[in-house]
Amino acid sequence: MSMLQKLGRFVVGGKDAVEDPSEVLIQAHADAVERMLLLQQHAEMSPQEYSRTGLQALAEAARAQVDSLRTTLRERGLRVPPEPPALASGGSVNHWARLVQDLERHRSSSRKLRELAVQFADSQPSVASFLDQLCQQDLRACERLRALIARADPQAAA
């Protein structure tokens, strides 16, 4: 176990390792599908071209993450849940607030994936590595969303 993993285990609280990551992977897939669908929807609702383009790129990256999770589920012999046709936008009234909600979803996902990667570090190192990769993808999406938020901030124009 690397020093980072030991530190992570300490921060997470030393939770007992779960032997079977199936439910974790299924939930990660469901969460990724939700984020992807909302990004697609928010791209369509975007009032500015640069936001639309940025959100579409993020939705494509999220699609790649969903596909990666789907492949992993199939390799493990697990049933891949069907994707819902659409989701409610989350109740945000304006573009800036939708971007902030997207950022919060990605932050929450990256925290959760980091904790799970640490949790599986000993018992399932390949799963831990996969979850860490997903976490890194979410962190990159957070950076892109912060840049979009900065440009869309209604207070910045004042």
Task: Return mean pLDDT, the chain.
Answer: 87
Are 37 and 63 a contacting pair, CB within 8 Å?
Answer: no
Beta-strand ranges (E) seen in the chain are none
Give CA–CA dist 58/47, Å, rounded.
17
Question: Taking the model in full, what pTM does it have?
Answer: 0.82
Q: What is the DSSP string of 41-76?
A: HHHHH-SSHHHHHHHHHHHHHHHHHHHHHHHHHHHT
Look up the CATH number of domain 21-152: 1.20.1260.10
Q: What residues does each domain of the chain span?
A: 21-152
Q: pLDDT (tens digit, 9 = 90+) per residue, 123-144?
A: 999 999 999 999 999 999 999 9
Q: pLDDT (tens digit, 9 = 90+) per residue, 5-30?
A: 454 555 554 555 456 899 999 999 99
- Report whether pLDDT(47) > 60: yes
Amino acid at 81: P
Residue 87 is predicted with a pLDDT of 67
- Report whether pLDDT(4) > 70: no
Per-residue b or e along 134-151, where b marks 16 or more CB atoms closer than 10 Å to that residue's CB? bbebbbebbebbeebbee
